[in-house]
Amino acid sequence: MDRATWLRRQSIVDAVRAFFARRGFIEVETPALGAHRDVTTHIRDFHTEYRDDAGCVKTLGLITSPEHHMKRLLAAGWGDIFQVCRFFRNGEATRLHNPEFTGVEWYETGRDYAGCMETTEALVKACAAAAGAPVVCDRGKTCALDAPFERLPVREAVRRHAGVDIATLRDDADLRDACAAAGERCAVDDSYDDMFFRLFLAKVEPHLGVDRAVFLCDYPAPMAALSRLRDDGVFPVAERFELYACGVELCNGFTELRDPAEQRARFAAQIGEKKKIYGGDYTLDEAFLNALPAMPPCAGNALGLDRLVMLLLGKSSIAEVIPFPFGAGI
């Protein structure tokens, strides 16, 4: 990465900070080292040990997201907050992944995921204007960021591009059969998430955000993560969204779950799955769970700045917009 590219990147990051400053958000800082390893099933973290001369030993992890600490600030009454920081994901090194990457994460009180989508669209358009890139291209796909962004429920996206109506699937066996009918083979012990993403990545994702950006929203309930659930009259969905441009996923946002009992149950289920896949020891973040009842109604989002900068500067991989990408002599 050369100096000129860095300066262009920095102008986009400056636009992010200016955007939130205009809206009255407070920029915060939270720890990069957390006392609890990430329990999200398919995210691998970096973990280490703290040792002192008195013999104290504590397992720590580099954060995969600042979410837990930022929500504790929300519960303490900080109001609308954001930060530009490093995220760490082990085992992820592709043209769209780096083990250490930069993102912007924010939380806005008194809003749900629909309002957060509005904020996200305005932010991306502000960044595109700062970069002078109203239209972006990637691998032969074009996306006009100055056009209104589409809102597309997951059910409709899968039906449109894979020919499967996920609302009619009664259980994992039905999803396995649907994957097989679409030409995607699944193992007998694959989870719902495993099978869904096998189908989704092959048949749906490549078509998202072509011509104009699209918010993929209303995920199936088993994929709720830390988001609130809602019954849409057909089947339960998570108030969760991801933004796509040129088939590239840029963010992951929610109406935030505030029920500690429900969140505890989800974490416990995730830990069980994670131990099966990766092994290791995981503990619940009790400070986070204890803070949830005091957290105001809110929505939040985490957006990958490296990917957005890659698209806005017309680069082919995020390694071209990171000064020291993984494997380049770090």
Task: Residue 311: give its domain's CATH number.
Answer: 3.30.930.10
Give the integer Cα–Cα distance in Å for 203 and 158. Answer: 8
276 falls within a domain: yes
Give the CA angle between residues 316, 153, 298 to the nearest 5°. 90
Residues 28, 52 contacting (CB under 8 angstroms): no
295 falls within a domain: yes
Q: Mean pLDDT throughout 171-200?
A: 83
Helix (H, G, I), strand (E, B) or coil at 304: strand
Looking at the structure of the chain, the number of domains it has is: 1
At 41 the pLDDT is 84
pTM check: above 0.85: yes
Q: Mean pLDDT throughout 217-224?
A: 91
At 167 the pLDDT is 86
326 falls within a domain: no
72 falls within a domain: yes
Identify the band that residue 330 occupies on the pLDDT scale cut at 50, 70 and 90.
Answer: low
254 falls within a domain: yes
- Most confident among 33-37, 45-49, 188-192, 213-217 (mean pLDDT): 213-217
135 falls within a domain: yes
At 51 the pLDDT is 93
How buried is residue 48: exposed, middle or buried, by Cβ count under 10 Å (0-12/13-18/19+)? exposed
At 106 the pLDDT is 98
Reply yes or no on whether the pLDDT at 329 is more than 60. no
When the pLDDT of each residue in the chain is averaged and rounded to a whole number, the result is 93
Give the integer Cα–Cα distance in Å for 45 and 11. Answer: 30
248 falls within a domain: yes
Give the integer Cα–Cα distance in Å for 38 and 267. Answer: 10
Reply yes or no on whether the pLDDT at 310 is more than 90. yes
Domain span holding position 119: 3-321
Helix (H, G, I), strand (E, B) or coil at 78: coil
Contacts of 243 (CB under 8 A, 6+ apart): 117, 120, 124, 149, 209, 213, 214, 215, 216, 249, 250, 251, 253, 303
31 falls within a domain: yes
Q: Mean pLDDT throughout 200-221?
A: 94
Q: What is the pLDDT of residues 248-267, one digit of tens each?
A: 999 999 999 999 999 999 99
